[in-house]
A and B are shown apart, each in its own frame.
Chain A
């Protein structure tokens, strides 16, 4: 069973599973970041139209929910976000190079012994969490401070609860941090393009 969301692409209703939704949403955001103002709105509209068309062709009675494979296929047809620059104005390139995604430190609830601090550190530094557990133990045994440091980290590090946070923890490209940092207007913009309705369903 997988969680599913309903989205509105160019006025058409589509059901899409959560992972595929994240993929699609981050793709549109990345492409959108390449442009600004009126161009942005129009280009995104054009892309949504095309996506709606492609998805409509893919959907069958047996397979009504869009999955990651289909999103990947559509993105493959449309092309990588960097391909959009080529035909655009030359200055769009500089803007886009400033866009980077951040990795954030979280506690990893799926990889925990106590609070998941070491699991999160492991994900952040791309290392085996055992290494950090070992370090904390050494510092505790030798200096006696390891536990305090651990407890403080436990206290101040947020736990990665949502999927977006887990992605962020591992440094994958779904930065919902963008959402918070970007201006309110842009947030509204994305929301308009992607009228996400609440909805939970089943998918086999």
Chain B
């Protein structure tokens, strides 16, 4: 970690916040699919969980992503009335979505292993 910050100081064009955001963005799709795979969710539930996990700070990022996943046929939704407040849009994984998630699971494992393998060889400062 200390290595990353020290290079960031030398090159101000490379902002650590940006890099962090990029990292999170990459796995955000995966997290959304994972959350919905457990049970059908409406947007607020997804948001709540992602915020709790500190995956997102503002909600804005989520909406275009949901629309994209839905357009790609990974998600579908249904409407349900709610006792108070507006009706809720419940998202559910489609068959394609489930297969997609399985592959993402694999890919995630590989990624974690790869990073760990590389980090093992790193000598701490």
Contacts and interface: CB of A to CB of B under 8 A. Distances in A.
Interface of A: 9-12, 31, 35, 39, 42-43, 46-47, 49-50, 52-53, 56-57, 76-81, 83-84, 86-89, 92
B61 A50 contact: no
Contact of B85 (A31, A56, A77): A56
Nearest to A88: B64
Interface in B58-113: 58-68, 70-71, 84-89
A87 B56 CA distance: 11
A83 B44 contact: no
Given A79-B58, A88-B64, A46 B85 contact: no
Q: Main secondary structure on chain B at its contact with chain A?
A: helix
Q: Main secondary structure on chain A at its contact with chain B?
A: helix
Size bracket of the B interface? 20 to 34
A181 B1 CA distance: 50
Contact of A12 (B44, B64, B66, B85): B85
A88 B97 CA distance: 19
Contact of A84 (B60, B84, B89): B60
Given A50-B44, A78-B60, A86-B21, 11 more contacts: A10-B87, A11-B86, A31-B60, A43-B63, A49-B88, A50-B59, A53-B44, A53-B85, A53-B86, A79-B60, A80-B60
B34 interface: no
- Counting from the closest, the 4 A-B pairs by CB-CB distance are A79-B58, A79-B60, A88-B64, A83-B60
B65 A87 contact: yes
B85 A52 contact: yes
A35 B66 CA distance: 14
A12 B3 CA distance: 52
A49 B28 contact: no
Contacts of B43: 46, 49-50
Interface in B28-51: 28, 43-44, 47
Contacts of B44: 50, 53
